[in-house]
Structure 1
């Protein structure tokens, strides 16, 4: 609705910004109502029956676009990114412009590196992760995992998590598992930290050094929390079950221990400089 007009000050603040004449509240509410009925598409074209698979995305995107048109500063982002061209598999919905990204390859860009949102939480495609695993099995240290081969950082993080999950003996060994869980249950923070340090000393040298190196890296991830939204607690949720598993296969024990697994990894990350 309305004609498009590019304003110089808006273009300076955000090169891709286009100011549209702001529709009244009644207008975008009508659009939302039509979307709920599956009757609106690009430029108001009748689409027939709703596409259930994307209905929620369409509705949320319309609301988002309506809110953005009423916010003059929506292009003033504080986050810095390292964007790289990315090929999305299957129809990918853009939450900003409320349209599909068309094309077979290189449909859009994604942030790559420590500032990637949801780093280690977001999963890469399984077949690509398996490719990385096979590359290491085949080529060892010569495996090429550079950005031009695997532009999606989530593939590399997924391969790392898979490596830890597949270890026959976890990084936090079966022998020390119960001691770590007991340490996590201590209520006094100082006593708990001391107990964790004592159990760390029981790990075999290779396990200790691997854990130390990983915690140094994860601490760097948390330093970019404002961009990637991954603090020590969130990383603990991801890496707790990955780094430590109970000696006996017990679903109930695993569920009961999950919060303590998370807490142990969180403590290791937050106190990396003290514990190691």
Structure 2
């Protein structure tokens, strides 16, 4: 583990426990004191309230339920539900399994085997034998992610009929070369998002390039050396305690960097299926075991602010503010705190418990007419942490909390970041957006540490007991004290990693996007398996809507909201998405983005710097759509 041995004398409830003796740095010692003060403050706020029995929360889940839940989260519920329908779960299990590598298939087979064996021990007939699922033998070709074919056998009909002539552009004209896209190092004023364009900076000496985002092979394939007791390339290149706080910056491939928000809901669900399988395979390959516990019974409320599910809060907020993605009360608290970033001890200094209870009652009773200007910085800090703790489902979700803790068993920082990235892609949209807003704010707090005296470790220690539910019993053994210290240091370490490398958490790796494309292609080929007569009729119908056939390397861009409804453009190696959207822009018009729609993807918003010719080669049958 990443923690140190426990102190020789147990900490008491009246005073924070001393830091571990092995910590020699004054900064780390102060940070540990900050952690225990935060725990004590949380316990004081809970005085007089009924708490659920900790043992009930830690009951192990039944073996059959465990495997069934795992297969369901992997999009393979049809394998355990006994359904004969091919469309029992979108996507079909066959389409999903066809995208997996050999190691990922081995993970699924092991889970399904364990599920069936457990049923047999209980004298129950297995619903589906594993040999009926994996009928094809493994070979070396399954080691790599299958790339989507250059031209699908039969593509779905175009959604946007073409009604304009082809405009041939000079394919050999020279354009000024644009630099490769790279996140700015440092602490931007606004959170990084697909809608913000970042200019490249020469700050690579203060950061590390996450080149592993560009690989076509999954993370689990790159750590095979760990099984043989060796060290993989990532560990040799990036390992080092002194560089733990240097951020990994995402490096964009030629097809453009893809964030979770760039994908449609359908594709994002499929990303979650593959991420779930890959995360399990990755951790098992690294020798890390995860243990899921039964979901605790949570008391939820239907009204108010605190103790209300995020989805319900957003549903209520969207009635007044359409399109809001983070609860309004959460945004209000962040705004108050952002106006006081220079305040010493922000987030650390506790407010009055009595005033905090009063403000909580006021917020729960009158959300619309609450007097926000009367809320002080110290009150906003307490309300923000209270809001996070009182969520019925934790911000990191009950399902994945144990996996977050299991990441601490990974020895290499780069592999911990990769595991956190896969975990972040599994979070529900409301949790993902709220966590993103929180991490952006915490990074701003750290950027003002010269004024507020809140270093990265201070901020991590304050937020860890709020994000990771921490329980402390008055009577505990030496082993329990050691476990508490491990939870303290480990939780703070995870928060530190998420703050430092937050730009990577919402980035979809190239191999995941490639597997989603292959899954969509496999589903489309099955869905559009038409007879020769139907294909001929469909081709004739499409020919009526198109004056001339597009040549190789020519795309037709559709802009339904513009006077130029359609335009055909000849692509070359320098044509970028920003070049196409510039042709449709007008003065005072909203920002327009280019989307890749159909073919082997449902919908993907393209980054302005992506090379369109490379996107065209990967998905030649897609439509190109411009919209806000």
The two structures have a TM-score, normalised by structure 2, of 0.24
- Give the 5 Å matches for 1:156-171: 156-171=380-395
Does the CA contact (< 8 Å) of 2:389 and 2:469 recur in 1? no
- Give the 5 Å matches for 1:92-103: none
- Residue 131 of structure 1: CA displacement? 2.2
In the alignment, the residues of structure 2 paired with residue 229 and residue 267 of structure 1 have an alpha-carbon distance, to the nearest angstrom, of 20
Equivalent in 352, 360, 368 of residue 125 of structure 1: 352
Does the CA contact (< 8 Å) of 1:225 and 1:231 recur in 2? yes
- Give the 5 Å matches for 1:169-248: 169-245=393-469
Equivalent in 484, 491, 499 of residue 261 of structure 1: 491
In the alignment, the residues of structure 2 paired with residue 141 and residue 233 of structure 1 have an alpha-carbon distance, to the nearest angstrom, of 36
Deviations 1:193-243 (CA, angstroms, capped at 9, x unpaired): 001111112222211111111111111111101011112211111111101
In the alignment, the residues of structure 2 paired with residue 171 and residue 119 of structure 1 have an alpha-carbon distance, to the nearest angstrom, of 21
Equivalent in 124, 143, 147 of residue 370 of structure 2: 143
Higher relative contact order (CA 8 A, sep 6+): 2
Does the CA contact (< 8 Å) of 1:165 and 1:242 recur in 2? yes
- Residue 269 of structure 1: CA displacement? 0.9
Which secondary structure state, in structure 1, belongs to the residue aligned with residue 395 of structure 2?
Answer: coil
- Residue 164 of structure 1: CA displacement? 1.3
Does the CA contact (< 8 Å) of 2:425 and 2:505 recur in 1? no
Structure with the largest fraction of helix: 1
Q: Which residue of structure 1 aligns with residue 501 of structure 2? A: 271
Does the CA contact (< 8 Å) of 1:185 and 1:260 recur in 2? no
Does the CA contact (< 8 Å) of 1:171 and 1:207 recur in 2? yes
- Residue 255 of structure 1: CA displacement? 4.5
In the alignment, the residues of structure 2 paired with residue 216 and residue 142 of structure 1 have an alpha-carbon distance, to the nearest angstrom, of 28
Does the CA contact (< 8 Å) of 1:240 and 1:258 recur in 2? yes
- Residue 135 of structure 1: CA displacement? 2.0
- Residue 261 of structure 1: CA displacement? 1.0
Q: Which residue of structure 2 aligns with residue 134 of structure 1? A: 361
The two structures have a TM-score, normalised by structure 1, of 0.54
In the alignment, the residues of structure 1 paired with residue 439 and residue 404 of structure 2 have an alpha-carbon distance, to the nearest angstrom, of 16
**Alignment size in residue pairs:** 160
Which secondary structure state, in structure 1, belongs to the residue aligned with residue 366 of structure 2?
Answer: helix
In the alignment, the residues of structure 2 paired with residue 153 and residue 250 of structure 1 have an alpha-carbon distance, to the nearest angstrom, of 28
Does the CA contact (< 8 Å) of 1:171 and 1:243 recur in 2? yes
In the alignment, the residues of structure 1 paired with residue 411 and residue 422 of structure 2 have an alpha-carbon distance, to the nearest angstrom, of 16
- Residue 114 of structure 1: CA displacement? 0.7
In the alignment, the residues of structure 2 paired with residue 184 and residue 258 of structure 1 have an alpha-carbon distance, to the nearest angstrom, of 12
Does the CA contact (< 8 Å) of 1:171 and 1:244 recur in 2? no
- Residue 141 of structure 1: CA displacement? 4.6
In the alignment, the residues of structure 1 paired with residue 384 and residue 418 of structure 2 have an alpha-carbon distance, to the nearest angstrom, of 29
In the alignment, the residues of structure 2 paired with residue 200 and residue 273 of structure 1 have an alpha-carbon distance, to the nearest angstrom, of 11
Does the CA contact (< 8 Å) of 1:129 and 1:156 recur in 2? no
Does the CA contact (< 8 Å) of 1:184 and 1:192 recur in 2? yes
Deviations 1:108-136 (CA, angstroms, capped at 9, x unpaired): xxxx7111111101001112212221221
In the alignment, the residues of structure 1 paired with residue 388 and residue 368 of structure 2 have an alpha-carbon distance, to the nearest angstrom, of 17
Farther off after superposition, 254-263 or 203-212: 254-263
Cα distance change on mapping 1:262 and 1:141 into 2, 3 Å: farther
Does the CA contact (< 8 Å) of 1:120 and 1:157 recur in 2? yes
Q: Which residue of structure 2 aligns with residue 115 of structure 1? A: 342
Which secondary structure state, in structure 2, belongs to the residue aligned with residue 140 of structure 1?
Answer: coil
In the alignment, the residues of structure 2 paired with residue 271 and residue 229 of structure 1 have an alpha-carbon distance, to the nearest angstrom, of 21
Which secondary structure state, in structure 1, belongs to the residue aligned with residue 405 of structure 2?
Answer: helix
Largest Rg, 1 or 2: 2
Segments of structure 2 that go 5 or more residues without pairing to the other structure are: 1-338, 474-479, 507-628
Q: Which residue of structure 2 aligns with residue 22 of structure 1? A: none
